[in-house]
Every structure is written in structure tokens, then in C-alpha cells.
Structure 1
Amino acid sequence: MDKAKDFGQDLSPTLLKNLIAIGCAILIKETVNLNKLKNHMGLLLGNQHTQTDSHYRRLTRFFDHPVAQRRLWKWLLVWILGYIKRWDGRSMSLYLTLDATSWQLGKQPIQLLVLSLVYRQVSLPLFWMDLARKGHSSQQQRKRLLQQAMKLYPVKGFCLLGDREYGGKAWLQFLTQSGLNFIIRLPKDSYKEAISAGGKAYSALLKRALRGRTVSQWFTLEGHRYQFVARSHQDGAQSADPLVLLISNLSWSKHVVVERYRIRWTTECLFKHLKSNGFHVEELGVQHWAKIRLLVVIIVVLYVICVAEGFRQYHRLRPKKKELGNFQPRESVFRKGYSGVVNQLSSIEHFLDWLMKQLSKPLKIPIRIFFFNVQH
């Protein structure tokens, strides 16, 4: 624990020890359910003779601790962002994604609105908020999330990628005025009149897109110039949603805009790792919002550590044989790193010794990583 003091210098020894033990238990059990984690706490802490109910009370006391609820989540979030900033700057992507994932906890709906940085084909959560309800986020909630994230991470000049529910005139204007570029998917018939006023009729543009062409047109909306891009869906005109309609404030070519928008899919992979392919966040049993917030940030810390280790072992990832042009790994960077991290969990002492060494090493990413024909 003395070696971890620099990592958690503002935390009490007891709080830091419980934090690390909970993180190790989550990695081993691949769940956030406290009732399942209690069964492994005795082995991790070296007191197997203690009753599991006592370990469960230890877990609940940790999440009930006022310092843990009010301050620990902030400290962990700042640590995550500071750690990511130290990664190899040459490899830093300039793409952000905004998306939400939701599930039901008893009668309580949980919906996390997540702003992520796409770093070398992997989405890393930068900031998030629990909307605690069903349905889409409001423009005010999205603005508040971005404003808070901008105070912690230098996202100005980045390109934000978002799905159809993240539109709106005031929202687009806010992004432009905040110094953010964006590529956002549009629902059909959005800004139809404004787009038609920019040159060719809206219906004519869609007809060409349905025939397999990628079309674009600049138009003016609320005093700002935007590019409208349309193309047919990759599943063809017979799909339920045959067109992909995009709006952007970037001067990139229409083909580049379409290709860059595909990077947004990395967020779906992030949610998969958090929910079913790694930590099973849907199994959390705590219902108080402060406890949920703390548990989520602990999961994100573990996720980022696993991704960093996956990048260090990137040379061991096998490529898919069908991918001849670009390198596409058979195993995800996260899962590769997860396996490497768990292999160090023979004991908390060994794991901490290994982790402190890894955190102090510079993280250099292979420059050959490609994703969707885009080198980040």
C-alpha cells in the first residue's frame, strides 16, 4: 500500500485499500454485483476465515462512506483524464462521440449519456451523466455535459460524431460557437427547405443518393454554413432505413465526411464491453445515484487500464485473414488488455507492484493502426 500512496495521496489508507480490493474483485469476477464480489474479497485480502457477510458489509460501508460518495468519483475522473493526456501524443485522435446507453435497475431507469474520445480505434469515456429516465437527452443536458468536459479536457477543435437524436438548430449553433467540429446524422426531411435553398432540391439529392451516389450540398441555417451529405445505406435500398443523411460544419469532401462518421461505431463497442463483454454493469445492485456514479467511474478506470495494457500488447494481436488492406485485429484491444491485467492478479501486492510500474511507463502506440480506412 505504501507504493500506492502517490496514486491515492489524498485518500485515507482504509479507503484506498478498499478501492483497490473492489477493483481487483471486479476484474476477477467480471461483474459489479456486490453480492457476487463478496465471495472473492476474503482471498484478495488474505482473510479467508472471515464470513462472506462481513465482506459484504465492508463493500456496502465503502459505498456509504461520505468521502467516497462526494469526492472519490471526482478524484478518479480527474485521474483518468490526466492519465489519458500522458499517452503518446502522436497517436491522439481528434474524434469525439456522443451516445447513450440505458438499462433498468428494478423500477429505476438508468441512462448514461457518454462523451468519449476515440483513441486509435477505441472509445475512452471522458465525461458522462446519468439522465435517470427513458427517452432522449435534452439540448440543455448535452450542453452542460460538454461544458463540464471542456473544463477538464482540451476538446476544442475536435470532431464530434453523433446519431440522429443529437441534432437541433440551437445544438448545432452551440457546437460551432464552442469551437467544435461535428458530423451528425439527420432524420429524414430535417432542414429540408434550408437545404433546397442551397442549390438542388432536397428530393433530387435523395433520389441520387438512393441510386448509389454520394451527394452533398452547402446551405445556411441560422446564420451558419453547413454541409449536407447523403448516401445509400450499406445494406442497400431495401433496408428499413435506406439512406444515411449527415450534417457537418467541416469543409472535408463528401466521401471523407461519410468515412469519418463510421468511427462513431467505436462507442457501440465501448458499451458492449461495459455491459456484456467485460464488466456487466447492468448487474449493479445499488440504487442510490451517488453510489451508481462512484461504481461507474471505478469501472471506467479499470476499462482505461485494460485498454492501455491492450495497446502495449498490440503486437500480439492476430489480424483477420479476410482483411487484406487494413490491419483488423481478431481480438479487441480491450479484451487483450483485460487478459493481461487479470494474469497479474495472483495477489493484491503483486498486482499493485505491477500496476505502479505500468502507470509510470510511457504508452507508445504502433503507428500502423488503421480503422475504417482512417489513420487516426
Structure 2
Amino acid sequence: MDLSDGLRDSLKAHLGWGKPRLDCFVGMLLGLFRLKQINLTQLALAFASDADPRSRYRRLQRFFALVWFDYDAIARLQMGFFGFPGKKYHLTLDRTNWQWGKANLNILTLGVVYKGTAIPVYWLVLNKKGNSNQRERIALLNRFISQFGRDNILGILGDREFIGEHWWKWLTRHQIPFLMRIKENQLMTNRQGHQQNMHSRFKDLKQGQHRFLRKTFRVSGQWVWLSGMKLDSGELLVLAANQPFRDPFGTYRLRWEIENLFQCLKGRGFHWEDTRLTHYRRIKKVMALLAIGFCWAHKVGEWKHRFIRPLTIKKHGRPEQSLFRYGLDVLTNSLLHGFRRTEDAIRLWVLFLWPPDLITTQDGRVILILKIED
């Protein structure tokens, strides 16, 4: 079986494109793994075709300029990759941004917290420089809820950018728990109308100490539960939530996982910042390609860690490399040096289709063939 054929058939049901466009997308996906590079000039060289490299490059340009993407279908594909529907999960929200020439590339991303990273589900390219506004955040989360509902959301996590009265009231009205970091100089108001800033309330904490306030305070127009911790760096970490969290600091730590996602899409994986595309609609399409590639690599890494060779845990308590990078190296090696047998290509294709926890045999082989026959 040809891996390209398997991927094309798998994606056809989700993306709704014809064979030429599916072939182009799959060719870019496989080229992305061969090069670990999203620059179209380089990607065209790894694109399997007999055409002149300049013709391949123009084909890739036309693809991102003209092809319509169903981002809801891609979101369903991403959620299904890991069997999220029907499970409880935390969402995390953050931006990644950089500059190319005079263009500011600024992408607001909503992801599902998962095993040390965040799985990208929806993203919005902000055609501006700086923070997102409340309307943009609500639009992104509204789109998620329209597809997957809100009942399985354990909470949405965000840093100091993601505050705002309208935004917080919208989350509370829709019964979506939130846990956001706020600034030290943010004002808080008690029930009697007395105001003070966060720093004065938690300034007596020593490094490593934390405090949970038993009553709610009004912050940014919303009554919230507050907790503070003095970090080892001496910085004060203050969290606001619209409902009590059993372990707010442990939960908030999950927010960092979206930073790991951005690192994988950039320098530790696909070198997204090397793209020369700057138009916001094309950047959004590039993100779709990267997101699907990221999920496939992560699933392959999970499978190898579980069935072939577990990752070594270093003295600092973290694995020697991420599951994404573990899987990315498998895919890159296989595509550059060829598959030793047809079964290897089939296994990687099946890992593209089903969540890794469906693989239940000790060697990770038999169930794959059974699933194909199903």
C-alpha cells in the first residue's frame, strides 16, 4: 500500500476536496516531514512530482491562494485524532506572533490540553499587531462550542492578556469555568466597596507560599475567586476564577502546554517562522497543514513510547524529548530512507486514523490490521 494513497483516502471524507487538491495537500504533508520545513521554496523540492521545481512552487502558491478550507471539518478531525469527543478536557488560549519584513504575523490559538502539549483545534489570524480583543476570543470559543458543546470543558486557561469584563461575563453566562492569570497591580473590590491592588493583598507571601482567598472579589467587572503564590523568581502569580478550583496552581500550570505546541510548530519542529507567506488567509491555511502534521507526529510518538521504546525520564523529571519530536523523527526517517516492509507504511497510516489508545496488543500490530478490516 502506498502511504500517499492511504492519506488521501483518509482525508477525503474530512476535507471534501477532489483528487488533485488532496494529492497536493498530502504531498506537502509528506514533504513537511521530510524537511521539517514549511518554507514553500524548500517544500517544493521535497514535493513528489516530475514537474520542474518552479512549477511545483507555483502549484503550492496557487493551493494556498485559491483552495477553500472547511475549518470546522478540520477541527472535528483534530478532536477525533485523540478521541476527545465524550471526554472531559481543559482548553488553553494563547497567541504566537512574529514579524516578517513589515508584516506582523499574529495567531490566536485555542487548544485542548493533552500530555504535555496542546492540540490545536481553532485559530484566528489577527490582522493587526498586539493583543486579541474580547470579541475575537468569544468568536473563537463560540465556534468551538457550536461543534463540540460546552459540557465537557473543565475550564479554559489563559495568561494576563485574557482578562476583560465582557469576556469574563460571557464565559460565566455560558457556564464555562475559567482560570486566568492577572496582573499584580490589578484592582480588586470587596463586597463593602473597598479597593486594593493584588500586590498589597499578597505581598507578605514568601517564596513558594500561596494563599486562597475565601471570599469572592470584584475584578474587571466580575466576581471571582482569587489565589496568589510567590514564585521562586520573586514574581507574584495571581489567579482569578469564576468558580473554585481544587488545585488552581496545578491546573494553571497546564496552560504552559500551548507554549510547547508553539515551540513544536516553530524551532523544535516545522520552523513556521521561516514561511514567507504573510497574507492572513494563507497563514490560516498553513496552520491547518501544520496542525494536522503535528497531531500525526504526536500520535506516532505516543505509539512508539508505548509499544516500542519508552522515552527515558531525565533527572529533572522530564522525558528526553517530547512525544511530538519522537514521532516526527520516526516519520522523517521512514520517508527519507523508505519503509522496510509494507506493514510499516500501513501502521503509520492507521495511526493517522485512530486514537493511539485503540492499539491494545503488546507489539502494536495485530489490532491495526483488524481495524483496517473493520
Interval of TM-score (by shorter of Structure 1 and Structure 2): 0.7 to 0.9
Of residues 115-124 and 149-158 in structure 1, the stretch that sits farther from structure 2 once superposed is 149-158
Query: In 2, Cα distance between the equivalents of 1:136 and 1:195?
Result: 31
Identity value in percent: 24
Query: In 1, Cα distance between the equivalents of 2:108 and 2:322?
Result: 23
Query: In 1, Cα distance between the equivalents of 2:263 and 2:37?
Result: 14
Paired residue secondary structure (1:192):
strand
- 2:93–2:156 CA contact under 8 A, matched in 1: yes
- 2:210–2:230 CA contact under 8 A, matched in 1: yes
- Is residue 149 of structure 2 the alignment partner of residue 187 of structure 1? no
- Is residue 302 of structure 2 the alignment partner of residue 311 of structure 1? yes
Partner of 2:248: 257
Deviation at 1:78, TM superposition (A): 3.4
Aligned-CA RMSD value: 3.0
CA-to-partner distance for each residue in 1:342-363, whole Å, 9 max, x for gaps? 2332569968744432234442
The change in CA–CA distance for 1:159 and 1:333 in structure 2 (over 3 A counts) is same
- Is residue 25 of structure 2 the alignment partner of residue 19 of structure 1? yes
Amino acid at match of 2:205: A
Paired residue secondary structure (1:340):
helix
- Is residue 8 of structure 2 the alignment partner of residue 8 of structure 1? no
Query: In 2, Cα distance between the equivalents of 1:149 and 1:335?
Result: 27
Paired residue secondary structure (1:313):
helix
Query: In 2, Cα distance between the equivalents of 1:121 and 1:195?
Result: 39
Select the residue among 104, 111, 114 that pairs with 2:106. 111
Deviation at 1:114, TM superposition (A): 0.7
The change in CA–CA distance for 1:285 and 1:21 in structure 2 (over 3 A counts) is same
- 1:32–1:280 CA contact under 8 A, matched in 2: yes
- Is residue 136 of structure 2 the alignment partner of residue 145 of structure 1? no
Partner of 2:322: 332
Partner of 1:29: 35
Query: In 2, Cα distance between the equivalents of 1:78 and 1:170?
Result: 28
Query: In 1, Cα distance between the equivalents of 2:197 and 2:295?
Result: 47
Total equivalences in the alignment: 345
- 2:297–2:324 CA contact under 8 A, matched in 1: yes
Deviation at 1:86, TM superposition (A): 5.8
The change in CA–CA distance for 1:187 and 1:361 in structure 2 (over 3 A counts) is closer
Paired residue secondary structure (1:5):
helix
Select the residue among 165, 168, 187 that pairs with 1:169. 165
Deviation at 1:23, TM superposition (A): 0.7
Of residues 199-208 and 159-168 in structure 1, the stretch that sits farther from structure 2 once superposed is 199-208
Partner of 1:122: 117
The change in CA–CA distance for 1:330 and 1:183 in structure 2 (over 3 A counts) is same
Q: What TM-score results when the alignment is normalised by the length of structure 1? A: 0.82
- Is residue 101 of structure 2 the alignment partner of residue 95 of structure 1? no
The change in CA–CA distance for 1:184 and 1:309 in structure 2 (over 3 A counts) is same
The change in CA–CA distance for 1:189 and 1:303 in structure 2 (over 3 A counts) is same
Query: In 2, Cα distance between the equivalents of 1:230 and 1:96?
Result: 22
Partner of 2:370: none
Partner of 2:268: 277
The change in CA–CA distance for 1:201 and 1:283 in structure 2 (over 3 A counts) is closer
- Is residue 349 of structure 2 the alignment partner of residue 356 of structure 1? yes
CA-to-partner distance for each residue in 1:70-118, whole Å, 9 max, x for gaps? 235554343223333368x7xx562111110001132111110111110
Query: In 1, Cα distance between the equivalents of 2:198 and 2:52?
Result: 69
Of residues 292-301 and 145-154 in structure 1, the stretch that sits farther from structure 2 once superposed is 145-154
